[in-house]
Amino acid sequence: MRYKNLIDMHTHSDNSPDGSHSVTFICESAERRGLRGLALTDHCECEEYAARRFDISVRNSYFESVKAQSIYSGRLIIMAGVELGQPSQNPEAASGVLSQYDFDFVLASLHNLAGQKDFYYMDYKKSEPREILGLYFSELYELAAGCDYDVLAHLDYPLRYITGRDGIQVDLREYYDKIDRVLRAVIERGKGIEVNTSGYRHPLGRSMPGEEIVRRYHELGGVYITTGSDAHTGADVGRGLAAGMDIIYAAGFRHTALYKKRSPILIPIESDTNP
């Protein structure tokens, strides 16, 4: 389907260690692609907050996003956001960042287990991926139930590497109890989940999470859902959002969410074909 009012709720500028382009260029890319808006959600990896000087990069990201809001006013909805990685592993850093800036939108992520490296750096052919995934969903529950955030990012993130890169097939049904616990915590707290479309441009070949978990979230009573490309370059801004919207719509949702000053605003899903 062709959707109106697409909003990319997960993008990175060069204020992220692995980002390539300026906030201006990311916004220009969104406008060129006909998006209605975007959230700048640069990384803040909480357990490495001091060591990697996220204090500086988060400040720059926030400052540039707020500037862009006024420059693009009336043309593009811009949200000043952050992707808080592992807030449960350094709650002081997480709450410090959130009290310092008046963010519109806060994504929370779990890129590594406590005391371990990013899932990206693990070799799943030499380790026990099923066990790692179990630990991941347990720790994700702690984060979902206990941390301050708006939307939980890429819910089955380790599969990007376990299956997408290392080719190990995992039956997620093994983890449905754990995943349900995560989803229930999100719903009870009035938070949301995202459909992260970066998986479409990686070997995984699907969104994170995939269709079944999005459907389950809807069945359990989930309301707030966003789509995000997780772009780290201008070229990737908006990529896969329409496919993500297909999944959201098929799961039964008729609204997606954007956030202003950390309050969700539901916007109806409109396309060229639906009534």
d(CA 247, CA 68): 31
Specify the residue, 119 or 217, whose C-beta has the smaller distance to Zn ion: 119
Specify the residue, 150 or 230, whose C-beta has the smaller distance to Zn ion: 230
CB of 44 to Zn ion, least distance (A): 11
Specify the residue, 152 or 248, whose C-beta has the smaller distance to Zn ion: 152
Specify the residue, 207 or 269, whose C-beta has the smaller distance to Zn ion: 207
CB of 216 to Zn ion, least distance (A): 21
User: Residue 74: phi, psi to the nearest 5?
Assistant: 90, -15
Specify the residue, 8 or 230, whose C-beta has the smaller distance to Zn ion: 230
CB of 221 to Zn ion, least distance (A): 25
Which residue number places its CB atom closest to Zn ion?
A: 109
Residue 12 CB partners (closer than 8 Å, separation 6+): 18, 19, 26, 40, 41, 42, 43, 83, 230, 231, 232
d(CA 81, CA 43): 10
Q: What distance, in Å, lies between the first and last C-alpha atoms of the chain? A: 13
The answer to whether residues 30 and 37 touch, using CB atoms and an 8 Å cutoff, is yes
Give the DSSP H or E segment for 196. Answer: strand 192-196
Is residue 243 classed as helix, strand or coil in its secondary structure?
helix
The answer to whether residues 35 and 8 touch, using CB atoms and an 8 Å cutoff, is yes
CB-CB neighbours of 91 under 10 Å: 13
CB of 234 to Zn ion, least distance (A): 15
CB of 107 to Zn ion, least distance (A): 7
Specify the residue, 10 or 215, whose C-beta has the smaller distance to Zn ion: 10
User: By the criterion CB under 5 A, which residues form the site for Zn ion?
Assistant: 83, 109, 230
CB of 83 to Zn ion, least distance (A): 5
